[in-house]
Amino acid sequence: MTILAINGKKIEAAGGTILDVARANGIHIPTLCHHAALAPQGACRLCLVEVKGMRVLQPACTYPISEGMDVQTDSPKVRTARKFVLELLLSDHPKDCMTCETCGHCELQDLIYEYGVKETPFVGDRHLFPPDERDPFILRDMEKCIRCRRCIRACDEIQAVNALTMMNRGFRAKVATAFDTRMQDSNCIFCGQCVSVCPTGALTEKDSHGKGRDWQTTKVATTCPYCGVGCNFDLNVRDGKVVKVTSAWNAPANKGALCVKGRFGWQFLHHPDRLTTPLMKTSFWKEIKGTEGAPSPYKGFVETDWDTALDAAAGRLSAVRSADGPDALAILTSAKCTNEENYLMQKLARKEIGTNNIDHCARL
């Protein structure tokens, strides 16, 4: 165990960085370029702390703890430096929080508020990139980019796609795809990992714009229905409608990562064509019920409820089994089902029906 002091308080820790240890002990250190799912890089200078004996301030996110270390996380010197960095960032940032999509869950906005930055003392050039709406799913508003590089690192470390890089250097440095094309013309696969880690409104979910602020929505944890991996995420729900999907960073199967379908393919939920009740073929209905059934918007189908539909299906399956034996039946399941659902289907086939005719489409 290493014994160190943070803000005069004696702390024992097994190891890690100053930031790790501080957070584990309930000591707040602000960050911007840091993200728990990404390797730290010490670039944004928001987590600067005083380490006794060091001439300049040190980034807590990369600085490893050592025996006898004496750290100040909230001294006037530290607060001045952090406020300075925020003032600088604000001098190159549009002040349109009122209309910004990220308002309410913007890490820059929160820190500007926390550090009481009313206005920036710096006047000068500001990056003026028009919002880039050429891509599907992702809206890039690069004038809101603070160059924390979380997006680049997510693309590289989580997704291993490497679609993004820094181009140029100094004030002209910006996040870009190779040759600064739109994302669609790069090797981007629109997984949206970049969007999920962006601390500001630079990268946002295009289709969610205007549909609900962070405080207007409720997060509902769910499992993605698209495939059997079992990715978890949060549906952001406003007034009973899903408006956005966001990463659940503690999800066991995917640890926050998603694919293009899981992250951006939620619009079907509220599509008017979506089936919301089981349908039965009119001929089948007639055979079982002896009536025409109520008229439905679906030609050749009758709308029904689950009990009716399942009873009908079970009845017909049992009849086939009795007449021609269990191997007259086969079950083909879907890769869209979860593992658990697929397990249950094979149990239905093998145990209840008594056949090994069970297969899976094995692709999406």
Partner 1 sequence: MTIEELERIRTEARQILAERGERFLPDGELKPPRPGEVRVVLRNCGQIDPKRIEEYIAKEGYFALHKILNMTPEQVIDETKRSGLRGRGGAGFPAGQKWFFARQALASRPAPADGAPPAYLICNGDEGDPGAFMDRAVLEGDPHSVLEGMAIAAYAMGATQGYVYVRAEYPVAVEHLQTALPQARRLGLLGKNIFGKGFDFDVDIRIGAGAFVCGEETALIDSIEGRRGEPRPRPPFPAVSGLWGRPTSVNNVETLANVPQIFLKGADWFAGMGTEKSKGTKTFAIAGKVKNAGLIEVPMGITMREIIYDIGGGILNKKEFKAAQTGGPLGGCLPAKYLDTPIDFESLVAAGSLMGSGGLIVLDENDCMVDVARFFMDFTQDESCGKCPPCWLGTKRLLEILTRITRAEGTEKDLETLEYLTQNISTASLCALGQGSVNPVVTTMRHFRDEYEAHVRDKFCSSGVCKGMFHYEILADTCNGCGACRLKCPDKVIKGAKKAVHEIDQANCIVCGDCYKACKFAAIAIRPRPTPKSKLPECG
Partner 2 sequence: MSMDLDAHRPALDDIINREKAKGGALIPVLHQAQELYGYLPKELQDYIAEGLGVPQSTVFGVVTFYSFFTTKPRGRHRIGLCLGTACYVRGNTKNLERLSHELGVNAGESTPDMRYSLEVCRCIGLCSQAPAIMVGKSVHSKVQPDQVADILSQYE
Residue ranges binding partner 2 (CB under 8 A): 162-169, 176-180, 186-187
In what side-by-side order are the strands of the sheet with 241-247? Answer: 218-223, 232-238, 241-247
Closest distance between partner 1 and the C-beta of residue 90, in Å?
A: 10
Tell me 48's DSSP state: E
Both tokens of 176, joined, read 């870009």
| In the complex, minimum distance from the CB of residue 53 to partner 1, in angstroms, rounded to a whole number | 13
Judged by beta carbon distances under 5 to 8 A according to partner kind, the member of partner 2, partner 1, none in contact with residue 147 is partner 1
- Token pair for 74: 């909230």
Beta-strand relationship, 70-72 and 2-6 = parallel
**Tokens describing residue 333:** 């399941």
Give min distance, CB of 209 to partner 2, in A: 27
Of 26 and 170, nearer to partner 2 (C-beta) is 170
364 binds, among partner 2, partner 1, none (CB under 5 to 8 A by kind): none
Q: Which does 92 bind (CB under 5 to 8 A by kind): partner 1, partner 2, none?
A: partner 1
Number of residues engaging partner 1 in binding (CB under 8 A): 36
CA distances from 303 to 280, 283, 313 (A): 6, 13, 15
- Binding of residue 170 to partner 1 (CB under 8 A): yes
Number of neighbouring beta carbons within 10 Å of residue 15: 11
Q: Name the 3-class secondary structure at 20.
A: helix
Q: Find the binder of partner 1 among 173, 220, 253, 310 (CB under 8 A).
A: 173
Residue for token pair 């393919």: 265
CB of 184 to partner 2, least distance (A): 15
Alpha helices, H only, the chain: 18-24, 76-91, 107-114, 150-153, 193-197, 260-264, 282-289, 306-324, 339-347
Nearest to partner 1 of 98, 123 (CB atom): 123
Look-up of token digits 């040190």: 58
Interface pick for partner 1 out of 2, 7, 72, 91 (rule CB under 8 A): 91
Please choose which of partner 2, partner 1, none residue 177 contacts, taking the beta carbon within 5 to 8 angstroms, the exact cut-off set by kind: partner 2
Out of partner 1, partner 2, none, what residue 163 binds, judged by CB under 5 to 8 A for its kind, is: partner 2
Q: Under DSSP, is residue 215 helix (H, G, I), strand (E, B) or coil? A: helix
CA nearest neighbour of 159 among 168, 151, 167? 151
Alpha-carbon distance 191 to 52, whole Å? Answer: 43
* Residue number with CB closer to partner 1 (41 or 296): 41
Compose the 149-168 pattern: x for residues touching partner 1 by CB under 8 A, - for all others: -----------------x-x
Positions touching partner 1 (CB under 8 A) are 41-45, 48, 56-59, 62-64, 77, 80-81, 84-85, 88-89, 91-92, 121-125, 146-147, 166, 168-173
